[in-house]
């Protein structure tokens, strides 16, 4: 974890992958949304919503125990099992493997489901980002050394969720969140490698196979009709990581010079017979992530159908995480723009901070300030981390924030938020 959707540069290009408005996705049509919700009025706003406004489905297809302690326990995993890899190895090895598969399948069926997608839609959001691990494609798993639950068992539940998103006209981003060997020393990869073990030809090759497989799945299964972007790697080890993690073995220059162009090629080769206006945007971490600039690869720089993913956790970046002025000042004065990075979204952010979560007045302002930051001209929107947790904390849990009315609860409210003056005194 951790203004127009089409920039003027993209408009000037003759070749482009599809964007939400190209298919008139219903979740981007405010009038249609209000009619479906049984409203008796149309919002008096500029026609159409053109920004990505969404949530991550964190903790679903890759478990993160810190945000789901009760669920983790109910799955038969213990606190010492810090990742999926560890739980399956420690609790469900040998003849007990089938029980582990059942425990994880129960989680995949219930943590997120089509009703969840409906709830996300009904609070005014138009996009979901789905983090997923490479073990979803069982052909590339080394079962002798990688004891993940059988990933093919998650696919019917993934299919049902993206089908519901397609039915509702919501945009979907599929994110390779857990790569072979682990691209970060963090359990969001599904394992807990030390050091990160992704950056070698063997694991690059397995990820390329996963991208080919998922791209074919997206283009051959009608349920995936509103999947418009595939992210080739989430949050690799970066220069802002502590503990001298960067660079991980093989990362520099392997990530930018070898993996990124090969990942792009894997998707484009799978799309060889797909019309340009139906191709996927291929997404890379923004250079602001500081693990290398994807556009230093000519293949990436010259492909007009790329996207970029900025992650910005203000509460982690500041030394005084409880200082309200500093938090607001950062949101009100920062810029996430990077020259040359078109179709740029902030794909992870939250309201995590040292401010007590019960301070409703502050969090309403801070959410609005961050929304405006990620919707500035040149930015294409945002995806909050995350929709659901067991933390009972609106700083991390968008669904709980809507329950508390810390954030707008419909599309009109989110649109109106753009025009609120919350930054006076913080610039």
Catalytic residue positions, numbered:
235, 348
Residue 235: closest CA among 253, 255, 211, 218? 255
Rounded to 5 degrees, φ, ψ at 170 are: -100, 145
**What CA–CA distances, in Å, run from 281 to 211, 229, 335?**
13, 5, 23
Rounded to 5 degrees, φ, ψ at 279 are: -75, 160
- Residue 136: half-sphere exposure toward Cβ, Cα within 13 Å: 31
The whole-angstrom separation of Cα 370 and Cα 336 is: 11
Residue 192: closest CA among 116, 44, 84, 114? 84
The whole-angstrom separation of Cα 353 and Cα 109 is: 32
Contact (CB, 8 A) for 196 and 185: yes
Contacts of 81 (CB under 8 A, 6+ apart): 65, 72, 87, 90, 91
The whole-angstrom separation of Cα 408 and Cα 375 is: 15
The whole-angstrom separation of Cα 335 and Cα 312 is: 11
Please identify which residue in the block is written with the tokens 């399948």.
105
The encoded tokens of residue 102 equal 């059942």
DSSP string of 22-47?
GGT-GGG-HHHHHHHTT-SS---SSS
Residue 232: closest CA among 250, 257, 214? 214
In the chain, how long is the greatest CA-to-CA distance? 63
Number of other residues whose CB lies within 10 A of the CB of residue 95: 7
The whole-angstrom separation of Cα 280 and Cα 264 is: 11
Contact (CB, 8 A) for 218 and 175: no
Contact (CB, 8 A) for 148 and 88: yes
Helix (H, G, I), strand (E, B) or coil at 223: helix
Q: Which helix (H) or strand (E) holds 156?
A: helix 155-168
């Amino acid at each position: 974890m951790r203004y127009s959707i089409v920039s003027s540069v993209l408009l000037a290009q003759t070749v482009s992958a599809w964007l939400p408005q190209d298919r008139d996705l219903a979740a981007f049509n405010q009038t249609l949304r209000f009619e479906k919700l049984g409203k008796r009025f149309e919002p008096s706003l500029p026609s159409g919503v053109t920004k990505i406004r969404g949530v991550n489905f964190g903790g679903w297809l890759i478990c993160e125990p810190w945000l789901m302690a009760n669920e983790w326990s109910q799955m038969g995993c213990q606190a010492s099992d810090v990742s999926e890899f560890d739980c399956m190895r420690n609790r469900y090895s040998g003849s007990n493997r089938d029980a582990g598969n059942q425990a994880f399948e129960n989680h995949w069926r219930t943590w997120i489901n089509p009703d969840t997608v409906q709830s996300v839609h009904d609070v005014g959001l138009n996009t979901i980002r789905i983090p997923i691990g490479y073990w979803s494609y069982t052909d590339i798993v080394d079962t002798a050394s990688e004891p993940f639950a059988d990933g093919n068992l998650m696919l019917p539940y993934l299919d049902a969720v993206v089908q519901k998103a397609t039915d509702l006209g919501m945009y979907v981003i599929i994110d390779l969140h857990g790569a072979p060997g682990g691209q970060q020393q963090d359990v969001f990869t599904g394992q807990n490698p030390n050091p990160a073990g992704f950056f070698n030809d063997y694991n690059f090759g397995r990820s390329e196979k996963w991208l080919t497989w998922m791209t074919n799945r997206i283009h051959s299964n009608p349920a995936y009709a509103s999947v418009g972007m595939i992210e080739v790697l989430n949050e690799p080890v970066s220069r802002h990581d502590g503990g001298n993690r960067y660079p991980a073995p093989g990362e520099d220059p392997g990530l930018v010079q070898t993996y990124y162009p090969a990942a792009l090629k894997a998707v484009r080769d799978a799309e060889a017979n797909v019309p340009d206006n139906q191709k996927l945007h291929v997404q890379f971490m923004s250079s602001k992530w500081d693990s290398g600039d994807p556009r230093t690869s000519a293949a990436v720089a010259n492909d007009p159908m790329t996207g970029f993913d900025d992650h910005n956790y203000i509460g982690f970046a500041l030394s005084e995480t409880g200082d309200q002025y500093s938090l607001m000042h950062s949101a009100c004065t920062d810029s996430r723009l990077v020259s040359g990075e078109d179709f740029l979204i902030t794909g992870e952010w939250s309201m995590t901070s040292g401010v007590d979560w019960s301070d409703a007045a502050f969090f309403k302002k801070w959410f609005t300030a961050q929304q405006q930051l990620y919707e500035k001209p040149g930015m294409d929107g945002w995806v909050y981390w995350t929709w659901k947790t067991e933390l009972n904390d609106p700083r991390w849990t968008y669904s709980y924030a809507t329950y508390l009315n810390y954030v707008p609860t419909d599309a009109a409210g989110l649109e109106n938020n753009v025009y609120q003056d919350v930054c006076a005194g913080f610039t």
